[in-house]
Amino acid sequence: MIDVEVVRLRRLRASALQLRALARALDRNKWTRNDALLNQGRCAAWRIARLVSGRLRAHPNIQYQRDAGFWTLLKNSLVASVTSLTATNRCRAMTRFDACLKAVMRELDDARALTLAPDLSDIFGRSQCELRALAKALQVETEVCGQSVRNPRPVRLGSSVHADSPFLTI
């Protein structure tokens, strides 16, 4: 591995650990407690971070073998806790989780495109598929949630029976 690849892998590990910390913090939030999408994202981020840490530990240079430090992990958990506290509803929490997931996806795309190891590229490809499926599910959920926040009940003028039915409007 060369220096540029090590830097890229460290950035990927840092963003994956941020995603994991955010998922753990949002899981303690009353709006998103025991959510399947958060659990899936947390597990995917942990697998990516473990893979990258193992790859970096195998490097012959001692300086490249360092794990994420205590202060980095503390900063991640504090930022995630503040984000969780400011998420006042499920839609806002999932939107923030989606933004963090997209950051991990960008880092993963960069790492996979520029890695020289075929086995690492293969594993990154599987992780990309998993994160894309998760992002698609999150997008569907945030669109539905955003639509219900914008238009809680459509107002239909001119209907005398049920205002909620689209077939009875004039």
Instruction: Classify residue 130: in a domain, yes or no.
Output: yes
Q: What is the pLDDT of residue 102?
A: 95
Q: What burial class does residue 74 get, using C-beta atoms within 10 Å of its C-beta: 0-12 exposed, 13-18 middle, 19+ buried?
A: exposed
Q: Which CATH number fits the domain that encloses residue 100?
A: 1.20.1260.10
Q: With a cut of 70, say whether residue 162 has pLDDT above it.
A: no
Phi/psi region, residue 21 (left: phi>0; alpha: psi -120 to 50; beta: rest), is alpha
Collapse the DSSP code of 113 into the 3-class scheme (helix H, G, I; strand E, B; otherwise coil) and give the result. Answer: helix
Q: Whole-prediction pTM value?
A: 0.78
Helices (H) and strands (E) in the chain, counts: 5, 0
Q: What is the mean pLDDT of residues 20-28?
A: 93
pLDDT tier, 87 (very low <50, low <70, confident <90, very high otherwise)? confident
Predicted local distance difference test score (pLDDT) of residue 63:
66
Residue 169 lies in a domain: no
Q: What is the pLDDT of residues 112-140, one digit of tens each?
A: 988 888 888 999 999 999 999 999 999 98
55 located within any domain: yes
> Looking up tokens 């004039």, which residue turns up?
170
In-domain check, residue 132: yes
**Average pLDDT, stretch 58-62?**
68
The secondary structure of 21-78, three-state, reads HHHHHHHCCCCCCCCHHHHHHHHHHHHHHHHHHHHHHCCCCHHHHCCCCHHHHHHHHH
What Cα–Cα distance (Å) separates residue 63 from each residue in 3, 29, 120? 11, 38, 21
Q: Number of structural domains, the chain?
A: 1
Asked if residue 158 belongs to a domain, the reply is no
Question: Is residue 162 domain-resident?
Answer: no
Enter the tokens of residue 107. 């880092």
Range of the domain at 21: 3-152
Residue 168 lies in a domain: no
For residues 96-107, average pLDDT: 94
